[in-house]
Structure 1
Amino acid sequence: MVKENLLIVENRIEEACKRRGRDRSEVTLIAVSKTKPADMIREAYQSGIRDFGENKVQEICDKYEQLPDDIRWHMIGHLQRNKVKQVIDKAVLIHSVDSVRLAEQIEEEAAKKGICVDILLEVNVADEESKFGFRLEETEQAIRDISVFPHISIKGLMTIAPFVENSEQNRPVFKELNQFYVDMQRKNIDNVNMNMLSMGMTGDYEIAIEEGATLVRVGTGIFGTRYKIGENEV
């Protein structure tokens, strides 16, 4: 099932790239493996997937020990400050930095380990009360505040779009974040390498790709079972 689903997802990614004249290599597929057993992850791995996303620190820690060491683990869920030290040397990218205080904690723990941690800032584009993330109007200042931390490298932005019946309804959200992302690229802020835009999940990843996503987070579309983060399927 996983192999067959991946073929469908891959085809849709390629078609979305073609519609916008983008090269397929510009988009990384992250298989959201939260709550999934190691056997299902291995099936995706055997089909060529190397990027996997998890919502919980404990799941990354457990699976990190069980599965091949060339897997790239992405922390995509809300990260509590008291869990930072457990995950910063296991995740290749933390998508969900939603406050300067969290970034300060990452800086502190990264300094202790002598590493530099790649992060994305989570932006609550639609300004939903149920969501974490910076409001769009706060994000540039947050980028500037966090960019001074020597053990953190800002790689880009992430958003979780609203749960909608028609994925087209999220196009304005993705378009707005992409416009802001491009604006931040042009500002050339020191210690900010703005080249990753993580947006789009199972219900709307094709729209996200058309609007500039470089990372898409797909769970249900690959693993088949419906799980939710709040109101949002991955």
Structure 2
Amino acid sequence: MSERTLEEMRVAYEALEARIADACKQSNRPRESVLLVWVSKFHPLEAVENALQLGATDFGENRVQEAVEKFSVKRPGVRCHVIGPVQSNKLRHAATVADCIHSVADVKSVLKLERICGELDKTLDILFQVNTSEEDTKSGVSMAEAEQFLLSLPEAPHLRYRGLMTIGKNTGVAEDSREGFAFLRHLRDKMLARGGVFQDFTELSMGMTGDLEVAIEEGATMIRVGTALFGERVYPPKI
């Protein structure tokens, strides 16, 4: 399957923008309150270049190696988001290339990222992943343990705790994810109200191609969209 041309991507982007704008209008939210993260995983650098021509500023990569390959060379005004789980031995690469990591789910990773960012003299935005779908295939802290986990987080001068991330239910029915999205919003609000290390805890990264309307209705501040923009992915063969 060939990649979309610039013109095909432009048409797809305009259609997606109409969906986002409509969802924001239905929720009485300004369009600017929702950041679109272009999920470029398994798409080549050429696709990223096309997206940049269309005004994209924020890109999401699941795999650290792909993020390094595409975003090690910094472009002014362009942010790289690592949105997939990061193994401990990949945290240094992730911290080096990313402006934001969405998938942190244990204190050990927080401590290691703090140490690495101290060495890099860098401040890194991080989000904490919660498994609101309660599916075994999904990463993240369980809903039952999420609040206690957040309260156990240490102060970390080189990390900015920005909010929460989740992946909706894999049922093909967007409405099935609403309860989990609402849970995430309530938890975010509770932490933000505490202040301290949670003073910047404003972000909710939730919603993808299939369920972005529900996510926006439930307060998403970041949506992670790949398929609707770049087209279907060609997954690499498993070795």
* TM-score, scaled to structure 2: 0.90
Q: Give the percent of matched residue pairs that are identical in Structure 1 and Structure 2.
A: 38
Whole-angstrom CA distance in 2 between matches of 1:25 and 1:217 = 15
The SS at the match of 2:81 is strand
Distance 1:210 1:114 in 2: 38
How far 1:161 moved relative to its partner? 1.4
Q: Measure, in 2, the Cα distance between the counterparts of 1:191 and 1:141.
A: 14
2:39 match: 32
- The reply on whether 1:159 has 2:182 as its aligned counterpart is no
Indicate the residue corresponding to 2:77 in structure 1: 70
Q: 1:173 aligns with which of 171, 175, 180?
A: 180
Residue in structure 2 matched with residue 5 of structure 1 by the alignment: 12
**In 1: Cα distance, 2:106 partner to 2:204 partner:** 18
Rounded to whole Å, the distance in 1 between the matches of 2:74 and 2:120 is: 23
Pairing 1:1-234 to 2, within 5 Å after superposition = 1-65=8-72, 68-226=75-233
Contact 1:50–1:72, Cα closer than 8 Å, also in 2: yes
Contact 1:2 1:223 in 2 (8 A): yes
Instruction: After TM superposition, give the deviation of residue 49 of structure 1 in Å.
Output: 0.7
Aligned-partner Cα distance in 1 for 2:26–2:175? 15
The unaligned stretches of length 5 or more in structure 1 are 229-234
- 1:147–1:192 CA contact under 8 A, matched in 2: no
Q: What letter is aligned with 2:15?
A: I
Would the aligned equivalents of 1:123 and 1:134 in 2 still touch at CA under 8 Å? yes
- Asked if structure 2 preserves the Cα contact closer than 8 Å seen for 1:147 and 1:154, the reply is no
Taking the aligned partners of 2:195 and 2:185, their CA distance within structure 1 comes to: 16
Give the SS at the match of 1:193.
coil
Q: Which amino acid aligns with 1:14?
A: A
Distance 2:154 2:100 in 1: 16
- Aligned partners of 2:71, 2:226: CA distance in 1, in Å? 18
Q: How far 1:13 sits from its partner (Å)?
A: 0.4
Q: CA deviation at 1:132?
A: 1.0
Report the Cα distance in structure 2 between the residues aligned to 1:138 and 1:147, rounded to whole angstroms.
17
